């Protein structure tokens, strides 16, 4: 018999695939960040070329060594500017390189400031402030080179005093304040990003803690309900089953030997009551300690033959075929679920179609899992009223789902009632 997979036509809902809006937004943000990083890198390259041309040309008053350093220093600054695209992946390395080159080369301070923002976004404490101070010193040095050049961008904002004049010299006293004014936004931007990220992480932690607390409260409530149900079951059903077993035993002893049929019926009632009492005690144990459910599983594939024999002795026409390869390797919870599904199918026939024959087919193995199929014909007028309300089928469906299997049940057009379940060999 083939393994029955879940299908939409069998009543099993196929979950809809959610539209990956979050992934699309994330990719869109990634594209925008990459575009912004490339634009910043291009601006830094242009400023590095401009600084190299300004400080390295023959028209400057710098010594030849300074002009050579400024000219050849354009190459590492271009490399650093390009590497700024990966500043968020390697913030420490980029901050150290950009700041070091800005300190030793006459160039633009913008790469060091951009790297500073990335560094302060991921580092905190004295390391963050040390990098802020280093970037500040590098910015003062870069502004000093600008004021020392014949053509100065800073002096152009205040009337463009010539190189070597008193007005140009006086501007050097303003450089520490100007550098602080320039460095502060970049450092604040990085610190702000770090604070927002830490705030979001703390919020996610609080949300997770809230969910865990709610789940804990729910588990405590369920545990209280399980304990109450266990007490009620033990105090009511256990006592009644014990009384049934006691009365059946007394009936078995008091009936004369000439009435073998009554003796057999009394013995069957007593044995059934004792078996039900043992099952009830196991249920109570599971309710009181759910973690011990797996250890308390006592029925499985090897018990199917005994279950069928008992059903035949009780008068239920069960025609079974069990073809299972290597039943000992089946996971106990799965084997127990298979046993319960067959047991409930037999009980359903007794309640709803006591005169009908039940065909049971159980087959499978480690490669295919277990397939359980039961069929009984529904004779008109043969069914007896039942107060189960469909809870048996619901319980069978839930039992199959708990081990990762599927379950289908319903009347067929041919006039039979069919149950088909598939269980994995190992619990999912």
Interval 98-117: pLDDT, tens: 999 999 999 999 999 999 99
Give the Cα separation of 66 and 56 in Å (integer): 7
Position 282 scores a pLDDT of 66
**DSSP string of 246-285, one letter each residue:** HHHHHHHHHS-TT-HHHHHHHHHHHHHHHHHHHHHHHHHH
Give the Cα separation of 127 and 242 in Å (integer): 76
Q: Is the pLDDT of residue 278 over 60?
A: yes
Q: Contact, 138 vs 112, CB < 8 A?
A: yes
Interval 166-204: pLDDT, tens: 777 888 898 999 999 999 999 999 999 999 999 999 999
Position 114 scores a pLDDT of 95
| Domain ranges, ordered by start, for the chain | 29-173, 220-292, 301-423
Would you identify the CATH topology of the domain 301-423? Answer: Heat Shock Protein 90 (3.30.565)
Position 221 scores a pLDDT of 85
Number of Cβ within a 10 Å radius of residue 364: 25
Interval 35-58: pLDDT, tens: 988 999 999 999 999 888 888 876
- Indicate whether this model's pTM tops 0.85: no
Of the candidates 308, 384, 385, the one whose C-alpha atom is nearest the C-alpha of residue 343 is 308
Beta-bridge partners for 284: none
Interval 120-146: pLDDT, tens: 999 988 999 999 999 999 999 999 998
- Which carries the bigger pLDDT value, residue 409 or residue 233? 409
Q: Contact, 135 vs 125, CB < 8 A?
A: no
Model confidence at 385, pLDDT cuts 50, 70, 90, reads very low
Q: Is the pLDDT of residue 421 over 90?
A: yes
- Which carries the bigger pLDDT value, residue 180 or residue 381? 180
Percent of the chain with pLDDT over 70: 81
Give the Cα separation of 337 and 325 in Å (integer): 17
- What phi and psi values does residue 406 have, to the nearest 5 degrees? -125, 160
* Coil/strand/helix, residue 320: strand
Position 179 scores a pLDDT of 94
Q: 80: buried, middle or exposed (CB in 10 Å: 19+, 13-18, 0-12)?
A: buried
Position 160 scores a pLDDT of 66
| Structure tokens belonging to residue 255 | 């009936």
Measure Cα distances from 198 to 113, 122, 202, 204, 210 in Å: 22, 10, 6, 10, 18
Give the Cα separation of 23 and 35 in Å (integer): 18
Kindly report the length of the chain: 428
């Amino acid at each position: 018999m083939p393994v029955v997979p879940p299908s939409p036509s069998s009543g099993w809902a196929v979950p809809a695939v959610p539209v990956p809006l979050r992934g699309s937004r994330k990719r869109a943000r990634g594209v925008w960040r990459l575009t912004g990083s490339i634009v910043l890198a291009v601006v830094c390259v242009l400023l590095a070329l401009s600084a190299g041309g300004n400080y390295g040309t023959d028209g400057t008053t710098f010594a030849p060594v300074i002009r050579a350093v400024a000219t050849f220093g354009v190459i590492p600054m271009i490399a650093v500017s390009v590497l700024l695209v990966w500043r968020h992946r390697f913030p420490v390395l980029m901050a150290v390189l950009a700041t070091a080159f800005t300190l030793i080369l006459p160039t633009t301070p913008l790469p060091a400031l951009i790297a500073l923002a990335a560094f302060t976004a991921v580092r905190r404490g004295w390391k963050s402030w040390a990098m802020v101070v280093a970037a500040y010193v590098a910015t003062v040095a870069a502004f000093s080179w600008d004021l020392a050049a014949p053509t100065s961008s800073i002096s152009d904002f205040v009337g463009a005093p010539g190189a070597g004049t008193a007005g140009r010299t006086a501007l050097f006293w303003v450089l520490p304040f100007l550098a602080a004014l320039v460095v502060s936004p970049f450092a604040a931007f990085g610190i702000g990003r770090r604070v927002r990220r830490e705030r979001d992480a703390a919020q996610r932690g609080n949300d997770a803690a809230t969910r865990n607390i709610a789940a804990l409260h729910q588990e405590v409530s369920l545990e209280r309900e399980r304990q109450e149900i266990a007490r009620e079951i033990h105090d009511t059903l256990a006592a009644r089953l014990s009384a049934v077993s006691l009365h059946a035993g007394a009936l078995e002893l008091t009936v004369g030997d000439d009435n073998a049929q009554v003796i057999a019926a009394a013995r069957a009632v007593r044995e059934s009551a004792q078996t039900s009492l043992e099952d009830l005690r196991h249920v109570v144990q599971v309710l009181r300690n759910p973690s011990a459910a797996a250890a308390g599983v006592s029925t499985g594939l090897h018990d199917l033959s005994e279950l069928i024999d008992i059903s035949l002795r009780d008068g239920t026409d069960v025609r079974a075929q069990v073809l299972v390869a290597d039943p000992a390797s089946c996971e106990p919870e799965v084997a127990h679920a298979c046993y319960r599904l067959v047991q409930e199918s037999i009980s359903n026939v007794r309640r709803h179609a006591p005169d009908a024959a039940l065909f049971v087919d159980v087959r499978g193995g480690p490669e295919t899992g277990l397939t359980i199929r039961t069929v009984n014909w529904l004779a008109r007028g043969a069914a007896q009223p039942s107060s189960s309300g469909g809870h048996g089928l619901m319980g069978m469906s839930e039992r199959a789902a708990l081990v990762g299997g599927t379950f289908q049940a319903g009347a067929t057009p041919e006039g039979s009632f069919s149950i088909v379940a598939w269980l994995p060999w190992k619990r999912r």
